[in-house]
Amino acid sequence: MFPNTALAIGFILLANFISKPSSYVLGKVAGILLLLYPILLTVSEVFIGLTLSQHVQNTPIGLEISAQKLFYIVFGLVILGISNSQKKHNE
């Protein structure tokens, strides 16, 4: 639930940044939240896996790195870059 909340807040802040491009903090926070989403999702998936398999001994823990998670990392970096370049351009 927490990763989805971070993703939703990131998209809301991104929409506000698009409507008001002069507020660079919105773009920066949206980019950071989009970067954190795959990390938070991976942590929650590990905890879910540990909870579901706690009755079994010696269970392996696997981390999944998918294209969807990498997309959010790249998208967050792009938003951070756009926010920083917009800020430098308007100074």
Distance CA 75, CA 27 (A): 12
Q: How many CB atoms lie within 10 A of CB 35?
A: 19
Domain that holds residue 14: 2-90
**For the chain, how many structural domains are there in total?**
1
* Cβ atoms of 82 and 14 closer than 8 Å: no
37-82: pLDDT as tens digits: 999 999 998 888 888 888 888 777 778 888 999 999 999 999 999 9
What pLDDT is recorded for position 48?
Answer: 87
Q: How many CB atoms lie within 10 A of CB 62?
A: 8
Q: Which one, of 59, 32, 58, 64, lies nearest residue 45 by Cα?
A: 64
What pLDDT is recorded for position 49?
Answer: 85
